Structure 1
Amino acid sequence: MTPCKSGGGWSRSLALCASIALSACSTTPPSAVPAIAARTAHPAFELEGRLSANDEHRSVSGPFDWRHTPLHDQWTAYSPLGQILAELHATPSGAELTLADGQRLGAASVAELLPALIGIDLPFAQLPGWVQAVPDGSAEVRHTDGQGRPALVFDRGWRIDYTEYQDPAPGALPRRIDISRGEARIRLIIDRWSPQP
């Protein structure tokens, strides 16, 4: 770029520089903001599905059930043959994980026990919104699908891909979700949703 010259033609040079700057701004396309359909998270729900999770150290997979309310979470993990492998219960006062052999682990929050269940440290407080495709205000919706539903979201360093919804309606709940960060990969396939009022 040729610098603006000073001297007798200062006013003309200033006007020329301003004109160049304005024309440069006018040719810069605005950032595309995806149109997002209005969605409301259910405060309570039950779901049944399948989970696979892996990182460089561990891999787990199998069916699971999750019952969520604002004051209670119950997560049951099953083997591929349907045997209960672990049950996780959480309330505002604490959380407990019971393993198939009867061993019990306690913690102040469910987030502390989730790695023992699936091998990956997820931000559990965000998970109810993530699985419903209703991320909170700190998340960035990068892409939407043809119905205006979130297709790609970034939240707290995590990438959440919504690759399939239960049906074509704008308010439909997700069926397939891929969550990743670094080497950590989680896939959720939700076979049955039961939203609660």
Structure 2
Amino acid sequence: MRFTAVALTLVALLLGGCTSLQIDPLPEGLTEQPPADWSATSARRDQFRHWELTGKLAVRQPSDSGTAVINYWKQDRQIYKLALSSSFLGMGRTTLEGVPGFIELTLPDGERYQSGDPEALVSAATGWQLPIDSLAWWIRGLPGPEGDFRLFFDDQERLAVIRQLGWEIRYDRWEEFIDAYPPLPARITAVKGEKRVRVVVTSWRKTDGDSQ
């Protein structure tokens, strides 16, 4: 299958090399009782649908570990464009573009692959299952629209954990990236079995289309 070439290239890009991804234990004292302002805060984050972030990605799984730079992740409501590159191999960018239910992957040499099953393409390319359509929600500190979920809050009334689709999304750090706006995740760790995916966000910004 042609996915073999995709897998070899993108695995080298994302998962090559060796990195240590330490997972902190869940803090004690979490509660499922949301703070009084949770409805207003989550509604404000839900309105945040036109944005761009930069950061880093670290992956650990039984067979491979590695890091990649998130050159940018641009979101325009349901439309996304994500550009990744390897910080240690010096390879060119690989981009993922799509909407829920469709994805196009472009390799550094310009070769493109399309699929109506985003999870299947990501799985074929990287070797791990990731509910990519939920990421735009989780990265903002919200549960995705698909599947049941549980929310856990810490003693400072911040969202600490989302459990959904078999994943546990841990919010390790929040920061006030945008003036007059609720704090946004600065570091999240997604855990599913022996799979670990960590995203460290270095910048968030609103783009055209969001209300103030």
Compute the TM-score of the two structures, normalised by the length of structure 1.
0.73
2:126, 2:75 → 1: CA distance? 17
Report the 3-state secondary structure (helix = DSSP H, G, I; strand = E; otherwise coil) of the residue aligned with 1:114: helix
How far has the Cα of 1:142 moved from its partner?
Answer: 2.2
Structure 1: distance between partners of 2:143 and 2:198: 17
Q: Distance in 2 between matches of 1:179 and 1:62?
A: 16
Partners of 2:100 and 2:133 within 8 A in 1: no
Gaps of at least 5 residues in structure 2 are 1-30
TM-aligned CA distance change 1:80 to 1:182, over 3 Å:
same
Within the alignment, does 1:86 sit opposite 2:85 as a pair? no
Secondary structure of 2:114's aligned partner: strand
Cα-Cα RMSD? 2.5
- Return the structure number with greater relative CO, CA threshold 8 A, min gap 6: 2
Quote the residue 1:124 is aligned against: 132
CA distance in 2, matches of 1:118, 1:170: 35
**Counterpart check, 1:111 vs 2:131:** no
Find runs of 4+ consecutive structure 1 residues off by over 6 angstroms.
Answer: none
The one of 48, 55, 60 equivalent to 1:54 is 60
Aligned partners of 1:121 and 1:133: how far apart in 2? Answer: 20
Can you give the 5+ residue segments of structure 1 that lack an aligned partner in the other structure?
A: 1-31
Distance in 2 of aligned mates of 1:84 and 1:145: 43
* Equivalent position amino acid for 2:172 in 1: T
Matched with 2:182 is 171
Q: Which residue type is aligned with residue 33 of structure 1?
A: E
Distance 1:49 1:116 in 2: 24
Query: Identity across aligned pairs (percent)?
Result: 25
Per-residue CA deviation, residues 57-109 of structure 1 (Å, 9 max, x unaligned), is: 23231111211123421110112166533111114683211112333221114
1:155 is matched with: 164
User: The residue matched to 2:151 in structure 1 has which SS?
Assistant: strand
Q: Distance in 2 between matches of 1:119 and 1:45?
A: 28
Q: Which moved more, 1:32-41 or 1:178-187?
A: 32-41
Q: Superposed, which structure 2 residues align to 1:176-191 within 5 Å?
A: 176-191=187-202
Q: CA deviation at 1:45?
A: 1.5
Scaled by the length of structure 2, the TM-score of the pair is 0.68
How far apart, CA to CA, are the structure 2 residues paired with 1:34 and 1:101?
50
Q: How many residues matched?
A: 165
